[in-house]
Amino acid sequence: MNYKEFFTSLKNLKHVYLLSGEESYYIDRGVEDILKKIFKNNDERKDSLIKIDCDKKIDINEIIGAIETTPFFSDKNVILIKNATFFKTKAGTSEEDNKSKKKDPTMDRLIEAIENILDTNFVIFTTKETADKRKKIYKSIAKVGIILESEPLKSWQIDNWLNFTLKSLKKKFDPEAQKYFMETISILPEISLNYLENELKKTALYVEGTVITKKDLQLMMAEPPEVSSFALTDAINEKNFKKSMYLLNAQINENKEIPLIALLVRHIRLLIRAKHFIKQGIKGKALGTPLALNPFIAMKIGESAAKFSDSTLEEVFLMLADADYFYKTGKAGSEFLEKIIRKLIT
C-alpha cells in the first residue's frame, strides 16, 4: 500500500509492520507515526523500544529472541529492526531457484515468531530496498500485518506531497514560485523528499507571511548541481545566446561537460518527442502523459519545441553523440559544446 493508505490503516494498529523501498522519507515518517500510535509519551518509548540494526550483521536468532521476549519494565515491547536484508532476493536468483532451495530452519523460526507474536509485542521491519513479494516472510507479514511500499516519486507525481507539506507549514506558493519550484525539480534525476522538505522548512521559517514567492525560493533553497545545468537549457529554449554561453562556460569551468552532455541529450530527446506528439494533435498540458512529465513542464517543453526545426534537433542529437565520445576519450575541447549551443540558438 502507499503512504496515504498506510497512514489510514494506523487507526487499527497491527503487531507486525514492514516498511520497504528506496524512498527513505516515507519509511522514516512511517516508523515515527507507528511509534506515536503505540506510545503515550517519550518515557514509555524509552523503556519499551528495542532497536536492532541489521547493518551491523545481527544474528537472526537475536531478532527472534527479541520478538518472543515478554515485557519486563513496561506493558509492551516494540522491536524496531532497521535495514533488514532478508526481504531481498539475491541478484540472479529466480523464483524457481527459491523453491528448489533447502528450507532455512532459522528463517522458518522467524516467520513462526512473526505469525505468533505476543499481544504485548510489536515488531517493525525496515529495508532500504524493495522487498521481494515472492518470499515466504513477505507473504507471512502481508497475512498478519501491514506493508508499506515506499518507492521514489517522479517530478510529475509530487503535487499531493507538495500540497500536504505546504499546508502543514501553513504556507503556499504564489504562481511564479510554483512555476519555479516545478521547473527546478523536473530536471532532477531523482527526487529526495527529505531534501525538499528540509529546504521548504527552511524557507518557511524565513518567510513571515503565508505566501512564498519565487524570490524567497531563489534566496533560501540550496541548488542541486543539476539546477545550474537546467538554467542553460532554459536559456537555449529562450534562444538567449549571451546567457547560454555564460552558463556553458560556468559548467566547463567546473569540469561538468560529460554530465551536461547527458542533460542536453535528454532535453533534445524531449523536444523531438514533443514535436512528434504535437503533430498527432496532442498539445499543452496533455503532453504530460506521453512525455511522462508534470503537465505544466510538458506544456513548456511543447512551447519550446516549436522554436526548433526537426532538422536542427536531429543534427544536434548526432552532434551530442560525437561530443560524448570525444569527451570520454579525451579528444574534445570546449569548442564542441560551443558549436552545439550556436547551432541551437542561431
Residues 91 and 186 in one domain: no
80 and 98 both lie in a single domain: yes
In a shared domain, residues 245 and 191: no
Q: What is the reported pLDDT for 188? A: 62
As a whole number of angstroms, the distance between CA 276 and CA 283 comes to: 10
What is the spatial distance between Cα 81 and Cα 169, in angstroms, rounded to a whole number?
A: 31
Is 340 found in the same domain as 252? yes
pLDDT tens digits, 143-193: 999 999 998 877 777 888 899 899 999 999 999 999 888 877 776 656 778
The reply to whether 84 and 175 lie within a common domain is no
pLDDT digits (tens, 9 = 90+) for 54-65: 877 778 899 999
The string of pLDDT tens digits covering residues 65-94 is: 999 999 887 889 999 999 998 888 765 555
Residues 133 and 193 in one domain: no
Does residue 273 carry a pLDDT above 70?
yes
**229 pLDDT above the threshold of 70:** no
Higher pLDDT, 228 or 49: 49
> What is the tally of structural domains in the chain?
3
Tell me which of 149, 167, 199 is where a domain ends: 149
Ranked by mean pLDDT, the top range of 68-77, 129-138, 215-224, 332-341 is 129-138
Residue 59, C-alpha cell as written in the block: 544474528
- DSSP-derived 3-state class of residue 236: helix
Boundary-marking domain end, from 197, 220, 243:
220
Q: Which long-range contacts (CB under 8 A, 24 or more apart) does 34-39 make?
A: 34/10, 34/122, 34/124, 35/78, 35/80, 37/10, 37/13, 38/13, 38/76, 38/78, 38/122, 39/78
Q: Of 202, 220, 238, which residue is a domain's last?
A: 220
CATH, residue 170: 1.10.8
pLDDT for 276: 94
- How far lies 202's CA from each of 174, 215, 217, 234, 297, in Å? 17, 14, 10, 26, 25
Q: What is the pLDDT of residues 293-304, one digit of tens each?
A: 878 778 889 999
Residues 335 and 235 occupy one common structural domain: yes
Angle at 165 between CA 160 and CA 168, to 5 degrees: 125
- Per-residue pLDDT, 175: 92
Query: Residue 268 belongs to a domain with what CATH number?
Result: 1.20.272.10
Query: Does one domain contain both 86 and 112?
Result: yes
Looking at residue 78, its pLDDT comes to 94
pLDDT digits (tens, 9 = 90+) for 93-121: 555 445 545 577 899 999 999 999 999 99
pLDDT of residue 97: 47
Query: Contact 97/47 with Cβ under 8 angstroms?
Result: no
pLDDT more than 90, % of the chain: 44
Same domain (yes/no): 215, 114: no
Within 10 angstroms of residue 235's Cβ, the number of other Cβ atoms is 20
Name which of 49-53, 325-329, 340-344 the model is least confident about.
Answer: 325-329
**Range with the poorest average pLDDT among 160-164, 230-234, 284-288:** 230-234
Predicted confidence band at 230 (pLDDT cuts at 50, 70, 90)?
low
Out of 31-35, 132-136, 238-242, pick the least confident: 238-242
> Which residue shows C-alpha cell 512551447?
303
Q: Is residue 143 domain-shared with residue 184, that is, in the same domain? A: no
CATH number of the domain to which 47 belongs: 3.40.50.300
Q: Which structural domain range is residue 84 located in?
A: 3-149
pLDDT at 204: 92
* Mean pLDDT value across the chain: 86
Are residue 241 and residue 119 in the same domain, yes or no?
no
Percent of the chain with pLDDT strictly greater than 70: 91
Residues 233 and 179 in one domain: no
Residue 328's pLDDT is what? 83
CA distance 97 to 265: 40
Q: Which residue has better confidence, 196 or 273?
A: 273
CA 2 – CA 59 distance, rounded (Å): 30
**If you average pLDDT over residues 207-221, what whole number do you get?**
89
